[in-house]
Structure 1
Amino acid sequence: MNNVASILILIFLAITFLQSGYDKLFYWKDNVDWLKGHFDKTQLKNLVPLALLHILVLELISGILCIVGCIELLINNGRLFGFYGAVFSCITLLMLLFGQRLAKDYDGARTIVIYFMPAVMAVYWLN
């Protein structure tokens, strides 16, 4: 097991994004309503449903790629899917960070940085 750290981070990212995607998918209206208030003073105020859909798709892609990456690492030490999962995770987190900064939610932005650090580590290790 040479890839334990990479597998653990990929599992962490998969849980993070699949749970978040599940929440967005099954509680769509609640999320849209809350986000409309969150972004009411930004340029995104009229684009909340479209932006949320975009984030949902990226989260699901990130989570699925991370799961497949774990399986690939376990089966044949392959790193391709895990690498792409980590890259998509970073892109997703950067988009979330942009939204939080745009909404001037600096505490929320700070929280995203906590998730970004292991995602970047995964990109580095799986590259």
Structure 2
Amino acid sequence: MSNAASILLLAFLAITFIQSGYDKLFYWKDNLDFLKEHFAKTRLKNVVALALGHILVLELISGILCVVGCIELFVSNGRTFGLYGAVFSSITLLMLLFGQRLAKDYDGARTIVIYFIPAIIAVLLFS
């Protein structure tokens, strides 16, 4: 139970990013159509598909690293993959935040901050 908070934070991040990556992967066209409209008046309007692919890869890497971090922490008390998962999660969230701010979607940006707080707490716990 000494690692309960760390495991719960990594599980939270893993669920968040694996589910989001799954959604982007299996509902690519729906996501792309929504995001093209969302970013139509921004500098990203011509690179939405590339940005979506980039975010998809980062989300999957973040989620997988968090899962491996949970396993590593549970099995050997190791913290390396947990730290990598938390850092990748934070970077991914910063990229999402940048996009929301660029699109002037301040409610969406505020929602991302809610996810960013546990990610930063995880970085602190694993550092």
Shorter chain as denominator, the TM-score bin is over 0.9
**Other-structure match for 1:104:** 104
Give the distance between the partners of 1:76 and 1:25, measured in 2 at CA. Answer: 32
**What SS does structure 2 have at the residue aligned with 1:99?**
helix
Structure 2 unaligned blocks of 5 or more: none
**Other-structure match for 1:24:** 24
4+ aligned runs moved over 6 Å, structure 1 = none
- The offset of 1:64, in angstroms, is 0.1
**Other-structure match for 2:64:** 64
**What SS does structure 1 have at the residue aligned with 2:44?**
coil
Give the distance between the partners of 1:88 and 1:6, measured in 2 at CA. Answer: 16
Alignment of 1:2 onto 2:2: yes
Alignment deviations for residues 31-64 of structure 1 (CA, whole Å, 9 cap, x no partner): 0000000000000001000000000000000000
**What SS does structure 1 have at the residue aligned with 2:24?**
helix
Give the distance between the partners of 1:38 and 1:118, measured in 2 at CA. Answer: 26
- The offset of 1:111, in angstroms, is 0.2
AA at the equivalent of 1:81:
F
Give the distance between the partners of 2:126 and 2:93, measured in 1 at CA. Answer: 18
Give the distance between the partners of 2:2 and 2:122, measured in 1 at CA. Answer: 14
Residue identity (%): 79
**What SS does structure 2 have at the residue aligned with 1:98?**
helix
Give the distance between the partners of 1:27 and 1:75, measured in 2 at CA. Answer: 35
- The offset of 1:2, in angstroms, is 1.1
Aligned length: 127
**Other-structure match for 2:12:** 12
**Other-structure match for 1:76:** 76
* C-alpha RMSD of matched pairs (Å): 0.3
Structure 1 unaligned blocks of 5 or more: none
**What SS does structure 2 have at the residue aligned with 1:121?**
helix
**Given the two structures, how large is their TM-score scaled by the length of structure 1?**
0.99
**Other-structure match for 1:118:** 118
